[in-house]
Amino acid sequence: VRALALALRKHPELGGFWREGAFVPATGIHVGLAVSLREGGLINPAIHDADSGSLDQLMKRIRDVSSRARNGGLRASELSDATITLTSLGERGVDAVLGIIQPPQVAIVGVGTIRERPWIVEGQVVARRLIEVGLAADHRVSDGHKGARFLLEFEERLRAPETLQ
């Protein structure tokens, strides 16, 4: 969540809304977190200001919002102001996720399962823990080049956890 939020700081065109025929940039970085409900279905509450505060505070907010989502205790703002969505089916063993954008948002990032795979390092095949990340973005506000730059920034943040504070 933090890596996504920090990547969004550098690529704000993927964080906002398509309203009345135009892109409306978000005033904050509120990552929508796809949460499966016990009785079935999916809900997308916002983790407000996911780019700020300590990682411990962020984890507490994520646990709180996820719990309240499953118990029906979310605030209206948490259901309406996510500026981008993060969805993960990694815990289900799915290798890759290509999410469906939830309007009026303009982007969603999908994360699969971390798996050990062969990787070439200095001409040698080595085992590396890898994860597949997908991005669906509204082409009215972005394009493949901008999306690739965003994903590279996201990857850099994931590879350097010390930058997430």
Residues taking part in catalysis: 139, 143
Measured distance CA(165)–CA(68) in Å, rounded: 25
CA 76 to CA 133: how far, in whole Å? 29
CA atoms within 13 A on the CB side of 13: 15
Nearest to 80 by CA among 23, 117, 26: 26
Q: Which helix (H) or strand (E) holds 5?
A: helix 2-10
